[in-house]
Structure 1
Amino acid sequence: MSDTNSQVAASAEIRARIDTTTPHSARFWNYFVGGKDNYEVDREIGDQIKEIFPGLVDVALTSRLFLGRAVRHLIREQGIRQFLDIGTGLPTADNTHEVAQRVAPDARIVYVDNDPIVLTHANALLTSTPEGRTAYLDADLYDPDSVLEAAAGTLDFSQPIALIILNTLGHVADYDQARDLVRRLMAGLPSGSHLVISDSTATSEGMIAASEAYNASGATPYYVRSVEEIAGFFDGLELVAPGITQVPSWRPDPDAPAGPSAASVDAYCGVGRKP
């Protein structure tokens, strides 16, 4: 079979795996941040949840801004030039590689997701400066060893790497399992590597109600956790100031336009360094 025919067959297989009859987390989040890669079923549950808890839109938007601030901090203040972004989701504006290579053109980024809808958009992610590298892995958070092995094809594991897991760990129903997955991933990274996490939290009745409505929609469930549980992901790491905090409060940019107040955002984040 020719390369062209193989690509067509692979593309058809991926499309066949995409279910447009139930909501999908990546498409749902894409809708909330103003993207266009979503279907009516995603917009319907999105609009329903906006009525229940409009603040979830603020969570989506401020989480994207946190990603940019964290990446810039790691490059400028910690000298990080490599990023392993797990649970990539659908590309929008200011993806990890865009932010990183804008500051450090030689930065290397590996995206990881195992979702067919994300895979169909992988080509949009596979762009890079001439000096850097960007790669996409069709891999699974639940198999950390395979993720690390495949990422080694692009990243230099003798140098520090930033592991980014944003708004993804809530899909792991069992908290102890989620912590173990993070621990195993960080165990495979060298000293000086960093962990970057943000997730929605069960810190208001509105967020809890929104989570319950989303989980009842037929989509892959997402479980909001306590602030203490978010902090638990960083056990054994050195937290970067200001520690575990609401997303807008993590090193806010004084020159940025005013956004939602931290008190209104039910999402917490942190950045930690591996000794």
Structure 2
Amino acid sequence: MEWKGRRGSKNIEDRRGMGGKTLVGGGIGSIVVLLIVMFLGGDQGDILNNLTTSPTNTEYVETAEDKELADFVSVVLADTEEVWTEIFKQEGMEYREPILVLYTGSVQSACGMAGAAVGPFYCPGDEKLYIDLSFYDELQSQFNAPGDFAMAYVIAHEVGHHVQKLLGISEEMAKIRSRVSEEEYNKYSVRLELQADYLAGVWAHHAQGMGVLEEGDLDEALNAASAVGDDTIQKRARGYVVPESFTHGTSEQRKRWFYRGFKAGNLENGDTFSAKEL
């Protein structure tokens, strides 16, 4: 992705090195469970609130690599602001820009305390995206999804959840959650997440129109979408899959809805809730 020397977003809140609390008593098994349930913007809910935390005073020193990655995500966020402001304007609406919070270790949000193990997430309560930049290394080493546009896809997906908040979809999901079983809600959650993938694809469509995509960028995003499918994560974690516990969709579904958004470039074709087949 062509990004160096381009405008960054003013909506960056840097909390790196501010201390706070870290999650304890989890281990790699709990990390995998958290990723399955909440990866890429899932609802933190009771999971975050029930995790044990302990204070930490780890000092943070920004490396050259950290600075470059922080600059990168700022440019990606600025691009999403430009794209969604224009799309909302065309629809007769006003786009309210979210804040992206950079943190290290753990962070307090309106959705509760979260550690880096949960991955990047969006909190509708404060309309902020949260990301520990160390996730970029995890994306490459643990999820086998290298490339800067893989990271751009992650950010665009979280921004997609913000778009859903502005469109009133998140509010409707909250109502649904209060009246259905967990297994039934999981089906709605899959549709919510696939729609966020579609919206990430919409952004990528317009990013291509801006001339900032490079050869291989689309493949990086599709590979990342596939890498974080529920079936792929569960198979790696436990050796088998439990479809009724899916909350984000399969690898194939995530790739397909992202690509559908990339080809369409609009809001109209992204109604995953009415789709007969996902």
- Which structure is higher in helix share? 2
Report the TM-score, using the length of structure 2 for normalisation. Answer: 0.27
Report the TM-score, using the length of structure 1 for normalisation. Answer: 0.27
